[in-house]
Structure 1
């Protein structure tokens, strides 16, 4: 067997090839891309035995995705993607001096996969559909997060020079198209106070009870408020118009990507199973699929899936002290999706709601209870995916309520 440590950078890879005894056979720096992969195959072929199989080559690298990793997996090598924190801890085992280099990192990775491969998770390639879902879903969620950041900046600016706008437009939402149009049309308190009912109505087109809402907005905008110097107000207005323009573009692109997410997710064979889960819609389902992946055998058990999801608790024990707490190291995107699923599930599924209520009777906080609900839902999802069956309330909760009563 050969053990390869691959310390990757943006444009190159430092690799070390070692044998089963830990003897270093070769160190090299390979370019990223097809030329580098060809050179990698050449190195492996030089030191592998004549009867060696691709599966006899174990590669350890601090990433589990991308064209390079996909090429290694496609070649049949056993690739282990490790967390950089894991690699750093193993490097400290090999030496306590604190020295660090690319060659040293490659050596640590090669030694890690040679001595601890039974503790590492092998990279399992997702299907092309799942990878496509992951790309568009992450882009969609990133744009939503960016819109929230710009909305908060917009809110801060309005609070500083135009608080009446916050009061007038609060029922509509600062990221709504109606509010953005009003801010572009009248970005200063003076201009907003001159807006007619007809102008406001035109911006509210498509909403319910437009005349009443327009009158209420006009009343707030024309009331007396404290203000700033005209020059300062003009400067703030320029920034608000820019923020409004950015949010308008983000709104449009979010809608476009949402349709892409739904289209790609709908092509996946597990889409029906995921959508059958309580509290799960197309967007949340796509996020869950994207972050879990669909590679067969990636999660050996429901517990393994829960641990990866970050919903299962961890125990810290030393002497007489024993503390059970939430996991702080987790996939933020997946945790966010599962939290939203649990929040929706308790509103629409009576069995999930009953479980949540029983948790609350133990004086568990709302977020902690949602985390436990999410943990249970991850286990149910794992069982459904494993058996290729859709969610069934009776099957999913038949024994759990009995356990709680006991």
Structure 2
């Protein structure tokens, strides 16, 4: 066997080849791209001949990108090593703190030589799953960005135009952004007529336009403490800019939502995932994107729960034993699981009963949702493994019978 450490940098790779005794056989700095990949194949071929793909194990600190994909297609066993793991491994063999690309490549090669049984190989997800991951992550990232910009807008309004915060409940709504663009300061907002406000609400397809118009106009015309005129003018320019950014984000979020639904709808696992309570096309796409669709990636339901971050960890030493939530996890997946668990309370009688039982034992709301998500994704693993749709009676048989009684 040959063990390869690949220290990836943006434009090059520091590579070291190591045999099973830990002896360095070769090292090189390879350029990113086709030329670098060809040179790596040549280096491995010089050592292993035609059996390079079967006998080479590669460690690299990323699991995505054309380089990693090329390694997988070539048939190498590739392990994506968390940079924190590599850092801790480096500390086992030296305390000086010295670091270089060549040294990092050596560490990665040594890790896959000695600890490959503890590492997770890069999953062989399908191209469909990879595409879903791209658009689902982009969609969620824009939603997070919209939330950040809305919070900045809210803080700006608090500092010079608090009446707007009371007039507009949702600072990301199209009608709110249009009104703020028209009248970004207290003086101009107070001059807005009923007809102007009603027209904006009508374009946004609001209901109860007359009542909403009166409420908004009354709030905007309420007398408040203010800032000097020149300061208000500066804030108004800032708010116009923020409103324009939020309008673009809304447009792109809608566009990407269509892409997420289209890609997810074509995946063979979509029907199984959508059969589960609390999962729609967008949330289901996020779950599929983060879990992947490689059937060999999770050996059992416990492995899937561990990756999801819903399964608790135990710290035990002597007579002391503490059960804690996992704080090292995939944030995108945990976010999706929490939303699904909350939605399942309305969609699944069994999930609701399980949650109520936890709350009756004085488990907090968030901890109960986390345990419910843990149970739900154990069920998901079984459904995906067997290729069967979710069945409420089978999933919660004893609790559904209890509920019926």
1:20 lines up with 2:24 in the alignment? no
Residues paired across the two proteins, number: 400
> Which residue matches 1:6?
6
- Work out whether 1:148 is the aligned partner of 2:147: yes
CA distance in 2, matches of 1:25, 1:400: 61
Matched, 1:161 2:160: yes
Equivalent runs, 1:303-314 vs 2, <5 Å: 303-314=302-313
Alignment partner of 2:178 out of 166, 176, 181: 181
Written as runs of structure 1 = structure 2, the 5 A alignment for 1:154-303 is 154-170=153-169, 173-205=170-202, 206-303=205-302
1:259-300 superposed Cα distances (whole Å, 9 cap, x missing partner): 000001001000000011110011000000101111120000
Residue number in structure 2 paired with 1:32? 32
Q: Deviation of residue 400 (structure 1)?
A: 7.0
Q: Is the 8 A contact 1:181 1:203 kept in 2?
A: yes
RMSD: 1.4
1:383 matched residue in structure 2: 382
SS in 2 for 1:48: helix
Indicate conservation of the 8 Å contact 1:305/1:382, yes or no: yes
> Deviations 1:40-86 (Å, cap 9, x if unpaired)?
00000001156x35121100111111111110011111111111111
Work out whether residues 86 and 108 of structure 2, in 8 Å CA contact, stay in contact via their aligned partners in 1. yes
Tell me how far 1:111 sits from its aligned partner.
0.8
Aligned ranges 1:367-406 → 2 under 5 Å:
367-398=366-397
8 Å contact 1:129–1:268 — kept in the other structure? yes
Which segments of 5 or more consecutive residues in structure 1 lack a partner in the other structure? none
Following TM superposition, by how much is the alpha carbon of 1:402 offset from its aligned partner in structure 2, in angstroms?
9.8
Q: What is the rounded CA distance, in whole Å, between the counterparts of 1:98 and 1:179 in structure 2?
A: 53
Q: CA deviation at 1:98?
A: 2.0
State how far apart, in whole Å, the 1-side matches of 2:65 and 2:176 are: 41
Q: Do the aligned residues in 2 keep the contact of 1:136 with 1:260 (CA within 8 Å)?
A: yes
Matched residues in 2 for 1:199 and 1:298: separation? 57
User: Which whole-Å CA distance do the structure 1 matches of 2:401 and 2:334 have between them?
Assistant: 28
Tell me, what secondary structure is at the counterpart of 1:217?
Answer: helix
Cα distance in 2 for residues equivalent to 1:29 and 1:47: 17
- Residue 401 to residue 25, structure 1, CA distance change in 2 (3 Å): farther
Partner of 1:67: 66
Would the aligned equivalents of 2:44 and 2:52 in 1 still touch at CA under 8 Å? Answer: no
- Give 1:338's aligned residue: 337
* Aligned equivalents of 1:317, 1:375: Cα separation in 2: 22
In structure 1, what is the Cα distance between the partners aligned to 2:399 and 2:221?
59
Change (3 A) 1:116 1:400: farther
CA distance in 2, matches of 1:11, 1:296: 33
3-state SS of paired residue (1:337):
helix
Gaps of 5+ in 2: none
Report the CA distance between 1:216 and its aligned residue. Answer: 1.4
Alpha-carbon contact 1:355-1:401 (below 8 Å) kept:
no
Question: What's the TM-score, normalizing by structure 2?
Answer: 0.97
Q: Tell me how far 1:401 sits from its aligned partner.
A: 7.8
Q: Which of structure 1's runs of 4+ aligned residues deviate more than 4 A?
A: 399-403
Shift of 1:147: 0.5
CA distance in 1, matches of 2:312, 2:194: 56
- CA distance in structure 1 between the aligned counterparts of 2:394 and 2:253, rounded to whole angstroms: 37
Report if the CA contact (8 A) 1:70-1:125 is conserved.
Answer: no
Contact 1:275 1:281 in 2 (8 A): yes
Residues 161-214 of structure 1: CA distance to partner in whole angstroms, max 9, x if unpaired? Answer: 1111111112xx111001111111111111111111000001101111101110
Residues 81, 123 of structure 1: 8 Å contact kept: yes
* Separation in 2, partners of 1:97, 1:191: 64
Distance 1:74 1:86 in 2: 26
| Alignment check: 8 A CA contact 2:131 2:263 kept | yes
Q: Residue 115 of structure 2 aligns to a residue in which SS?
A: helix
Please tell me whether the aligned partners of residues 94 and 108 of structure 1 are also in contact (alpha carbons under 8 angstroms): no
